[in-house]
Amino acid sequence: MPTMLEVTGLNHRYGSGDGAHVAVKDLSFSVDAGQLACIVGPSGCGKSTLLRCIAGLIPPTDGSVSLHGDAVNGVPDDLAVVFQDYSRSLFPWLTVARNVEFPLRWRKLGKQERAERAQEALDAVGLSGVGRKFPWQLSGGMQQRVSIARALASKPALLIMDEPFASVDAQTRFELEDLLRRVQREQRTTILLVTHDIDESVYLGDRVLVLSKSPATIVADLPVDLPADRDQIATRESAKFVALRGEVARLLQTVPAKQAAPEQQADEDVATADAAEWTATEEAATENAGSAKETSH
């Protein structure tokens, strides 16, 4: 698969001087076209900052981002973002259909084609009959489906999602997770999704990138070798799922925070400490994966 997103040596620092805060540190990874990559990391580690840099909403302090080979220097036309707070991301004075059509105004599309695209996207998220309603007439889960439909309607090269299901109840969350995987596979959308929910990252992802505490660096890039067809009960009970979620949890627990502006020596000390923890973590993960497999027979 060709590379859709390439992030190279990304750094982001808020402010300068004594009050400076390094939120993202020397982060590099790429996402293949059609892949659903999840990013999981502790609260405040820099996940949203990373997404904002990738989306071109804020410029990185250092490093580069490219989308299908083009450097990102501002929000690309073919990129869509879904945020956690659906209640603030939809326009209450526009109908659901008009909300979904809204970003298409800047595309060279006729009125008819815009309406058709919006309807298609609403169909895809199971909201065929609600185009004429207003967002505030829908439940929270339905409103978040509208946000997803709006993102899909523009057929983005990359869909970025920042904790998209964090504001809905557990049952709705499961439904939205399954909806996202189904739509992603049908439309072959490339998705980069941030969550702080370990189970969600493993359930949804083709791959999980685990971030350190602040400033965010990548501590693991784990392929999720679960079957493509996933089921909220059977998949979550499977030995592979349990082993993977354990591995992610252990990584999140044991990797120490990096220092924001370390001296050279301090950097080396942290790196050494990391390496020691890594070895211990990997050994434990291997053991756990083995025992999980054993107990499954």
Token duo for residue 138: 């829908």
Closest CA to 218 of 17, 91, 47, 73: 47
Helix, coil or strand: residue 10:
strand
Please report whether residue 48 would count as binding ligand ATP according to CB under 6 A: yes
Kindly provide the b/e burial profile for residues 229-254, where b requires at least 16 CB atoms within 10 angstroms of the residue's own CB.
ebeeeeeeebebbbbbbbbbbbbbee
Q: Which stretch binds ligand ATP (CB under 6 A): 43-51, 198-206, 217-225, 229-237?
A: 43-51
Partner from Mg ion, ligand ATP, none contacting 23, C-beta within 5 to 8 A by type: ligand ATP
Q: How many residues bind Mg ion (CB under 5 A)?
A: 2
- Touching Mg ion, residues 3-62 (CB under 5 A): 47-48
Nearest CB to ligand ATP, comparing residues 71 and 260: 260
Please report whether residue 214 would count as binding ligand ATP according to CB under 6 A: yes
Q: Count how many Cα atoms sit within 13 Å of the Cα of residue 18 in the half-sphere of its side chain.
A: 0
Phi and psi torsions of 290, nearest 5° = -65, -50
Please report whether residue 235 would count as binding Mg ion according to CB under 5 A: no
Please report whether residue 161 would count as binding ligand ATP according to CB under 6 A: no
Partner from Mg ion, ligand ATP, none contacting 14, C-beta within 5 to 8 A by type: ligand ATP
Longest dimension (CA), the chain: 63
Partner from ligand ATP, Mg ion, none contacting 76, C-beta within 5 to 8 A by type: none
Orientation angle between helical segments 170-187 and 140-153, nearest 10 degrees? 20
Which residues would be at the binding site for ligand ATP (CB under 6 A)? 14, 21, 23, 41, 43-49, 196, 214
Which residues would be at the binding site for Mg ion (CB under 5 A)? 47-48
